Structure 1
Amino acid sequence: MLPREIIKKIRRIQIHTTHIVDELLAGQWDSAFRGSGVEFEEVRPYQFGDDVRTIDWNVTARTGHPFVKLFREEREMAVMLLVDQSASQGIGSHWQTKREQVAELSATLAFSAIKGNDRVGLTLFTDGVEKFVPPRKGARHVLRLIRELLYCDPVGAGTSLSKALDHLNRTMSRRTVVFVISDFQDAGYERALKAARGKHDIIPVVVADRRELTMPNVGLVRLRDAETGQTVTLDTFSRANRRAYEQQARRCMEQRDALFRRLSLDPIHVYTGEDFVEPLRRFFHRRENRR
Structure 2
Amino acid sequence: MVRRIEFRTKGLVWGMGSGRYRSRFRGGGTDLAELREYVPGDDTRRIDWNASARHGSIYTRELAEERELAVHVSVDVSGSISCGMAKQERMLEVAASIMYSAEQSGDRIGMSIFTDCIEGFIPPGRGRAHLLRLFGSLARHKPRSSCTDLSASLLGLGSALRGRSLVFVISDFASDPFAEQLGRLSAVHDVILVRVTSSIEAEIPDAGQVIFVDAENNEQMAIDTSDIHFRAEYARLAKERGAELARDARRSGAGLIDVGPTEPFEAAFLRHFGRR
Larger radius of gyration: 1
Q: Percent same amino acid among aligned pairs?
A: 31
Contact persistence 1:123–1:129 (CA under 8 A): yes
Per-residue CA deviation, residues 250-290 of structure 1 (Å, 9 max, x unaligned), is 22122111212222332111123441111111122222xxx
Equivalence for 1:46:
none
Shift of 1:28: 3.5
Q: Name the structure 1 match of 2:29.
A: 38
Identify the match of residue 198 of structure 1 among 175, 187, 203: 187
Alpha carbons 2:170, 2:196 under 8 Å: kept:
yes
Q: Is the 8 A contact 2:165 2:189 kept in 1?
A: yes
Q: Does 1:19 align with 2:7?
A: yes
* Pairing of 1:9-158 with structure 2 (within 5 A): 12=1, 14-22=2-10, 25-26=13-14, 28-31=16-19, 32-33=21-22, 35=26, 37-41=28-32, 72-74=62-64, 75-92=67-84, 97-158=86-147
Opposite residue 31 of structure 2, the aligned amino acid is F
SS in 2 for 1:33: coil
Deviations 1:191-235 (A, max 9, x none): 100100101000000100122111222221111111121111112
Question: How has the CA–CA distance of structure 1 residues 178 and 41 changed in structure 2, closer, same or farther, with 3 Å as cutoff?
Answer: closer
Give CA-to-partner distance per residue, 1:132-170, whole Å, 9 cap, x none: 111111111111111112111101101111122111211
Secondary structure of 2:74's aligned partner: strand
Return the TM-score normalized by structure 2: 0.81
2-structure distance, mates of 1:16, 1:116: 18
What CA distance in whole angstroms lies between the structure 2 residues aligned with 1:100 and 1:145? 16
CA contact (8 A) 2:78 2:115 kept: yes
Amino acid at match of 1:73: L
Counterparts of 2:132 and 2:16, CA distance in 1: 22
Indicate which of 169, 172, 185 corresponds to 1:183. 172
- Structure 1 residue 100: Cα displacement: 0.7
What is the count of residue pairs matched by the alignment? Answer: 244
- What TM-score do you get using the length of structure 1 for normalisation? 0.77
Equivalent residues in 2 for 1:242-281 (5 A)?
A: 242-281=231-270
Residue 172 of structure 1 pairs with residue 161 of structure 2: yes
- Runs of at least 5 residues in structure 2 that lack an aligned partner in the other structure: 34-60
Give the conservation status (yes or no) of the 8 Å contact 1:90–1:97: no
